[in-house]
Amino acid sequence: MEWDPLTVNGIGVPEPARLSSFYGSLHRTIAEAGGDGVKVDVQSIAGALGGSTFARRCHAALEASVVAAFGCGSRCINCMCHASDALFSQRETSVVRACDDFYPADTSSHTAHLVQATYNSVLLEAFAWPDWDMFQSGVDAGAMHAAARAVSGCAVYVSDAPGAHDSSVLRRVCLESGRVPLASQPALPTRDCLLEDVAAPDGTMPLKIFTVNREEVSEGRKRERERRVVGGVLGVFNVRGARWCTRTRRYVHTDSDTASATEGRRVSTVVRPSDVETLAASLSPCDDTAVLEWVACVRVCSDGGGDAAADDVTVRRVDATRGVFVSLSPGAFAIASFSPVVRVCSSTTAVSCAALGLWELYNGNGAVLSVGVSVADRDTPRLLARLLGPGVAAFWCNQVPLTVSVDGRGVPHAAVTACTDQGGHVVTVTLPSRQTPEVDDVWEVELVW
């Protein structure tokens, strides 16, 4: 105990009867200074200082002051709170840190950070919303962390020093307005890696996490279960070779950094719609029939991952079990989205298409708010989609549309076939910037055949 600061220096705690006053004055001061929330650290120590009863009283006072100062319990991030008397005392706050801190200078910790957040979320997401901590976009692994946060379902926030941001990375996470297209549920490990040691130096399985994007809440579908899925998302990461060492109490690399070892640390897998648990029970965005086919958009990012033009992109029509092979070198990652195929029919024509989302974002499918079929003219197939923007919106079609309009105005569009399978086209259209994107960042796109 000679190194323990509580033993060496002593510590004072508020009297139980004054806990509400203590937290209330603290959070009120932060709110009056312009703060819109707090992260409360080292919560698990309360039980050690005064037992479970004291821990419960601390958390009750904490939550009451957060609601009073900031308006709701979601304005608090509970941190270092994995002790049971801390977790089970949460009533108003629901955001829980899922992992160790992000250490920008400790390169051995970066992949281990993602592993911790993923597997701890298996427990935490049952009663809380996991938080993956801040990150810095300017470090070597900044793009990997940005991609992981983009598909994690948690809030995305950075701690770069002023002027040290990597704008190319941040532009792939958020919109021009600063809004982040968040996934609709916390990311979890897929079944095939759930019981695997993905960080093992001799392993072959990458870390695979899944989540879904659901359509924007409409007046008639306010409950989560009534919001249709507009796409599933997988994040695939090569996290081999680094872990926490219990002997040295630090993060270490567990294999050699030679060229041969680096090539030997490649991992591979097949990504398919069935990896995303929620898709199995999803419904078509246009009717109540089960989705049988999806369009997979697989984006492999290496060499930093900040430049979308350098990504290796594959777009392919797949079913529930047929997927796309992915191989990752050390430090590389892939984001795969699965968009439901919609059949747009007229009296003479049947077209298959899917809304892929914003082409350059890591979670570009999260920008799709809704997809539907126009019934204005039954003789002309029309697809209507509402997307966040601005940016380059992408659609997969088995036939190139005759015209594309954005907000009712015809616009140029391009068809790309190099990255897709035979018989398919990736159609891209630019959603232009607006003078007030923070007020109105939704674009309506119509494709006509």
Residue whose entry in the numeric block shows the structure tokens 């419904």: 283
Q: Which residues contact 429 (CB under 8 A, 6 or more apart)?
A: 392, 393, 395, 404, 406, 411, 412, 413, 414, 445
pLDDT of residue 5: 60
Structure tokens, 192 = 């095939």
Residue whose entry in the numeric block shows the structure tokens 């968040």: 182
pLDDT of residue 413: 82
Give pairs for 118-123: CB < 8 Å, separation 24+: 118/187, 118/188, 118/189, 118/207, 118/209, 119/189, 120/82, 121/186, 121/187, 121/188, 122/188, 122/189, 122/194
Q: What is the DSSP code (8-state) at residue 27?
A: H
Q: 153 with 131: CB under 8 angstroms?
A: no
The full DSSP string for 73-137 is GGGEEE-S--SHHHHTT-SS--EEE-SPPP-TT-TTHHHHHHHHHHHHHHHHTTTSEEE---B-T
Burial (Cβ within 10 Å: 0-12, 13-18, ≥19) of residue 343: middle
The pTM assigned to this predicted structure is: 0.89
Residue 319 exposure: Cα atoms within 13 Å on the Cβ side: 3
pLDDT tens-place values along the chain, 449 residues long:
455 566 666 667 778 889 999 999 999 999 999 999 999 998 988 888 888 899 999 999 999 999 999 999 889 999 999 988 889 898 899 999 999 999 999 999 999 999 999 999 999 999 999 999 999 999 999 999 999 999 999 999 999 999 999 999 999 999 988 899 999 999 999 999 999 999 998 889 999 999 999 876 555 444 444 457 789 999 999 999 888 888 999 999 876 544 444 555 899 999 999 999 888 655 444 444 456 789 999 999 986 767 778 889 999 999 877 889 999 999 899 999 999 999 888 777 888 999 999 999 999 999 999 998 876 667 788 899 999 999 999 999 999 999 999 998 888 888 776 677 767 899 999 999 887 766 678 999 999 98
Give the per-residue SS3 of 346-403. CCCCEEEEEEEEECCCCCHHHHEEEEEECCCCCCCCEEEEEEECCEEEEEEECCCCCE
Residue whose entry in the numeric block shows the structure tokens 């957060």: 66
Q: What is the DSSP code (8-state) at residue 168?
A: H
Q: What is the DSSP code (8-state) at residue 52?
A: H
| Residue type at 432 in one-letter notation | P
